[in-house]
Amino acid sequence: MLKSKIAQGFSPGMLLAIFVVIQFFRPAKNQDSQQDATQDIATIYPMPDSVQHMMQLACYDCHSNHTRYPWYAEIQPVGWLLNKHVQEGRQELNFQEYGKYSFRRQRNKLKRMKEQITAGKMPLSSYTLLHPEARLTPAQKQAILTWIDSTLTKI
């Protein structure tokens, strides 16, 4: 609806010009060159390698300091949207800065991770749609949940 209204006000040539111009406004990438593992959740609360690998594939694009960007992130405004998404995800929960959270916050985030995974809210379906490697099978989800449960009983 909105798009068609906007389109009515612009000629195709103008739209093309706008499209070209916005390509020059590129958001800074979330790709920290110093991969500091000291504060990583896997360092704080050790987990099986398989779980760590799953989390890196399914969670770390939005919840760490290093995003693996797809090719279409180079096209604006897609890149802007992705960037906003990643920023929100990181602010919410950053697995590579987990050690910086207070103990209570660490524990509560674990509990909420469990809720989100159990309810099927995470990983986001809009994300897994384009990232098949981030889709978790029930067995994979269970492996993560088992790790969360055993961690919660230990801390």
Residue closer to another protein by CB (options 22, 124) is: 124
SS (H, E, C) 78-120: HHHHHHHHHHHHHHHCCHHHHHHCCHHHHHHHHHHHHHHHHCC
Residue closer to another protein by CB (options 26, 100) is: 100
| Burial group, residue 124, by CB count within 10 angstroms (0-12, 13-18, 19+) | middle
102 binds another protein (CB under 8 A): yes
- Minimum Å gap between C-beta 120 and another protein is 6
Q: Classify 31 as helix, strand or coil.
A: strand
87 binds another protein (CB under 8 A): no
* Length of the chain (residues): 155
Residue closer to another protein by CB (options 76, 123) is: 123
CA 38 to chain centre: 20
Site string for another protein, 122-151 (x = CB under 8 A): ---x--------------------------
Structural tokens at position 26: 């590129």
Among 121, 129, 142, 155, binds another protein (CB under 8 A): 121
- Minimum Å gap between C-beta 107 and another protein is 9
Tokens 């379906």 belong to which residue? 125
68 binds another protein (CB under 8 A): no
**List of residues contacting another protein (CB under 8 A):** 101-105, 108, 111-112, 115, 119-121, 125
